[in-house]
Amino acid sequence: MMGLLAWFGKRATSALAVGVFVGLAIPDLATLTRPLLVPAIVVMLIISLLRLDPTTLRASLRSPTRTMLAVGFVLLISPLLGFWGAEVLGLTGGVRTALVVWTASPPLVSVTAIAVIVGLDSALALTVMTLCGLLMPLTLPPLVLSLIDLDLDIAPWVLSGRLAALMLGAALAAAAIRRLTGPDRLNRASDAIDGGFVLIMLVFVVSVMDGVTATALADPGRIAGLAALVFTVSLVMQAAGFLLFLPAGRRTAATIGLTAGNRNMAVVLSAAPSAFAPEVFLYLAMLQFPIYLLPAILRPLYRRLGQ
């Protein structure tokens, strides 16, 4: 079993790129995997924390100015860019809502592991992701309400409590596993751990692809347009983060760009599903394509920037 996981770990980007199409090819799997959606998010966060060296994390926290500027860009500047982009493109309805909410959301819980896989600064990615996850309930509701007049129908303190419980529980679980296993054994099993993370990501992507195949067959132009949009906004946000933080070094800039271009809109939608139209959930499903494909496509560039 460990050998199989290690095999997946060594081929993480390729496996993710292929796996995103499984949900399209076998849409009935979404029904079977849907109950695993939330557990998959929790497990991905635990593995992300488990793969991080605490010493490296402490070193990242020694640069609070850089970290808080990154958090400010992700949570405050990005939504304004998303709103401006929606206005320029003339987006309306659920797509407009989805774009603004996406740019106001925290980074993916999996962004730390992705940073490890592509050779970027995993400690910085984890720090930014964690702080954004904890602060997002204070920034997203007022920003979204003021920009697109959407009430998320949930008290900020309730959402903050849910996110804090998720983060704390995952951190405690990762700390317990690290203590019981020991750093040496974890380092030897790094490929297997990465492989396990890849499998959990595949479960997640299948569970959110429900309905995409049917929509693609009925209205291929709509799906093609959404695909072009999600790839464009992810790349633009990564480029914006990279250029803005380039004075801090290429590796730092590329890492912040990675976190800015990969957002956890699912946590917002799952916390207040009644506030969003079906098209927003379709947008969420289409987001999985850049999340799963871009690490494979851009891995040589990430690795070059991470040196």
Which residue has better confidence, 152 or 296? 296
Q: What is the pLDDT of residue 148?
A: 86
Q: What is the pLDDT of residue 9?
A: 52
Domains of the chain: 79-182+208-306 (1.20.1530.20)
Is there a contact between 93 and 261 (Cβ–Cβ < 8 Å)? no
Tens digits of residue pLDDT in 225-281: 999 999 999 999 999 999 999 999 999 999 999 999 999 888 787 776 767 888 888
Alpha-carbon span 57 to 124, nearest angstrom: 7
pTM over 0.85: no
Q: Is pLDDT of 154 > 70?
A: no
Residue 225's CB is within 10 A of a number of other CB atoms, namely: 13
Alpha-carbon span 188 to 245, nearest angstrom: 34
Q: Is pLDDT of 298 > 70?
A: yes
> Which residue, 209, 182, 49, 187, is CA-closest to 122?
49
Tens digits of residue pLDDT in 68-123: 999 999 999 999 999 999 999 999 888 999 999 999 999 987 788 788 888 898 88
Q: What is the pLDDT of residue 181?
A: 83
Partners of residue 107 on adjacent β-strands: 263
Mean pLDDT of 180-195: 76
Buried b (16+ CB within 10 A) or exposed e, 112-131: bbbbbbbbbbbbbbbbbbbb
